[in-house]
Every structure is written in structure tokens, then in C-alpha cells.
């Protein structure tokens, strides 16, 4: 995954292009007339005591994938404020600038694209995590932990013991069979991150969530390697044909 593609902050004169939630191309963009901002609360800018620091915005924008064969539509909402900054013309003068922060996309952006063979329920669980990435990083990590539980279900790892009591996530990870042992340590890392996201007192950053996504993507690639599947299909075809399989 390329976390540099998921810009959170921007200015209205330089709206980013985001990865399309459907086709995955870096092609989800907003035309100038589709960006709408307004004051969060009424402000009288003509008041003698007015200060630009009072300004708080809410915004919405409609986006569209520029790939003709896709054409996905999405909506983005967020907040904004103003900041005092020097002009970049070398004059030494300064001015006030509007700044905006993304809070929500619908449909959610996919922070990474799972391998094609990823079970649908795991993909759905990941989408839940993706949906809160911009607004609540802690919730995203908590949901990522839940996605790991779903993945263990798909791998048929027991969720209850012989007495019918639910097993902890740590216990379930330790029950992974030998052919899945390579994902034990990455799964434990997701567990710890998810715990931080779930329990209060931890200041979760978006970079922490991105770390979790990189690890989860690694787990899925280990379990459902597309290249490996392609090679296995090729090997099977050649073996069944006992060679190139061409007719004389």
C-alpha cells in the first residue's frame, strides 16, 4: 500500500486525487464546482472584534473516478479552519489561508486492496475498518482486530474451548496449525494494535493504523498469494499436458 496517496489535509485550490474505492486507480477527483464549504456556526465577519481565528468550516464535495470504464462516484465530508502563513513569493508578507481536513468518504476508500482470493467476509470487515480511518483511527484499529477474528473463523480456528467458553484472540492465534505458523507474529502485532485502539487512554495516530494495514496486507498475501496461485495453475496445466501440450 502507498500511504502517501491518502491525503488527509488539503486546500481548496489543490484538492488531492485519491485512489478510487472501486477500481483502485489513483483517479478519484473533484471538479471546482463540486467543492462546497460553509461556516460551521454563523460568523459576522464585519464585527469590530472579528478575528479569522474564529472561523471553522464544514465542507462536502462530490468526487468521480476519471477512468471511463469505472466512473465511480463518491462523497467526502470534513472540517476546516484558517491559518496565518507567509506567502511563497519571497516578499515576506503573510496572509490567511483556508485549510481542510477529511473526516469521511462514502463509499470508503480502500487503504489497501486485498488479494482476489480473500474471503468476502474478511473484505467486508476490512471495509468497516477503512470507513473510520479519517474520522476515528482508534476505531479503525479496533475494527482491524475484529477483521483478524473473522479471518481466523475463515481459517477454521476454534473460537470456543471444549467447555464452550469463548477463547481469547491470543489463544486463537496460538491454535493456528503448522501450515499457518508464518502469520502468528504478524497476527499478534494486529492484536496489540487492536487492543490500543479499543482501550481508552491511547492516542492512536493514522500512521499507527497504516502500520496495521501494512501488516494485515502482509498476512493476506501470505495466505492468498496471487502469484503463487498463478504459478500453481501453470504447473498443473503443464503436468496434465505432460509438456507444452501442442498437437503435432
CA angle 176, 143, 227 (to 5 degrees): 55
In the chain, the largest separation of any two C-alpha atoms, in whole Å, equals 93
Give me the pLDDT at residue 201, please: 45
Peptide bond into 107 cis (omega under 30): yes
Give me the pLDDT at residue 166, please: 92
Give me the pLDDT at residue 51, please: 86
What the chain holds in terms of domains, given with CATH numbers, is 1-109 (no CATH), 115-248 (1.20.120)
Give me the pLDDT at residue 4, please: 83
Residue pLDDT, tens place only, 169-185: 999 999 999 999 999 99
| Cell numbers describing residue 131 | 470507513
CA dist., res. 77 & res. 136, Å (int) = 14
> Collapsing DSSP states into helix, strand and coil, what is residue 24?
coil
Give me the pLDDT at residue 5, please: 86
CA angle 109, 41, 51 (to 5 degrees): 110
pLDDT tens digits in sequence order for the chain, 248 residues long: 778 889 899 998 899 999 999 998 999 999 878 999 999 999 888 888 888 888 999 999 999 999 999 989 999 999 999 988 877 777 778 888 899 999 999 999 999 999 999 999 999 999 999 999 999 999 999 999 999 999 999 999 999 998 889 999 999 999 999 999 999 999 999 999 999 888 854 688 999 999 999 999 999 999 998 776 677 777 887 788 766 665 54
CA dist., res. 213 & res. 219, Å (int) = 10
Give me the pLDDT at residue 231, please: 72
Q: Are 134 and 105 in contact (CB under 8 A)?
A: yes
Q: Which helix (H) or strand (E) is 86 found in, with range?
A: strand 73-86
Amino acid at each position: 500500500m502507498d500511504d502517501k496517496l491518502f491525503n488527509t489535509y488539503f486546500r481548496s485550490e489543490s484538492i488531492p486525487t485519491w485512489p478510487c474505492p472501486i477500481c483502485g486507480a489513483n483517479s478519484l477527483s473533484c471538479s471546482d464546482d463540486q467543492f462546497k464549504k460553509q461556516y460551521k456556526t454563523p460568523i459576522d465577519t464585519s464585527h469590530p472584534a472579528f478575528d479569522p481565528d474564529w472561523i471553522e468550516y464544514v465542507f462536502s464535495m462530490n468526487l468521480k473516478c476519471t477512468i471511463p470504464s469505472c466512473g465511480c462516484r463518491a462523497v467526502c465530508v470534513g472540517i476546516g479552519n484558517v491559518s496565518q502563513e507567509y506567502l511563497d513569493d519571497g516578499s515576506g508578507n503573510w496572509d490567511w489561508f483556508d485549510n481542510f481536513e477529511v473526516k469521511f468518504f462514502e463509499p470508503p476508500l480502500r487503504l489497501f486492496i486485498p488479494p482476489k482470493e480473500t474471503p468476502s467476509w474478511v473484505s467486508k470487515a476490512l471495509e468497516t475498518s477503512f470507513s473510520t480511518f479519517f474520522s476515528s483511527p482508534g476505531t479503525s484499529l479496533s475494527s482491524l482486530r475484529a477483521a483478524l477474528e473473522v479471518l481466523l473463523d475463515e481459517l477454521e480456528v476454534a473460537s470456543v474451548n471444549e467447555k464452550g467458553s469463548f477463547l481469547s484472540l491470543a489463544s486463537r492465534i496460538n491454535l493456528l496449525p503448522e501450515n499457518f505458523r508464518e502469520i502468528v507474529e504478524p497476527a499478534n502485532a494486529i492484536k496489540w494494535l487492536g487492543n490500543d485502539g479499543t482501550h481508552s487512554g491511547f492516542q492512536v495516530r493514522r500512521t499507527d493504523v497504516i502500520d496495521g494495514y501494512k501488516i494485515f496486507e502482509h498476512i493476506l498475501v501470505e495466505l492468498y498469494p496471487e502469484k503463487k496461485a498463478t504459478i500453481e495453475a501453470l504447473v498443473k496445466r503443464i503436468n496434465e499436458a505432460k509438456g507444452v501440450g501442442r498437437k503435432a
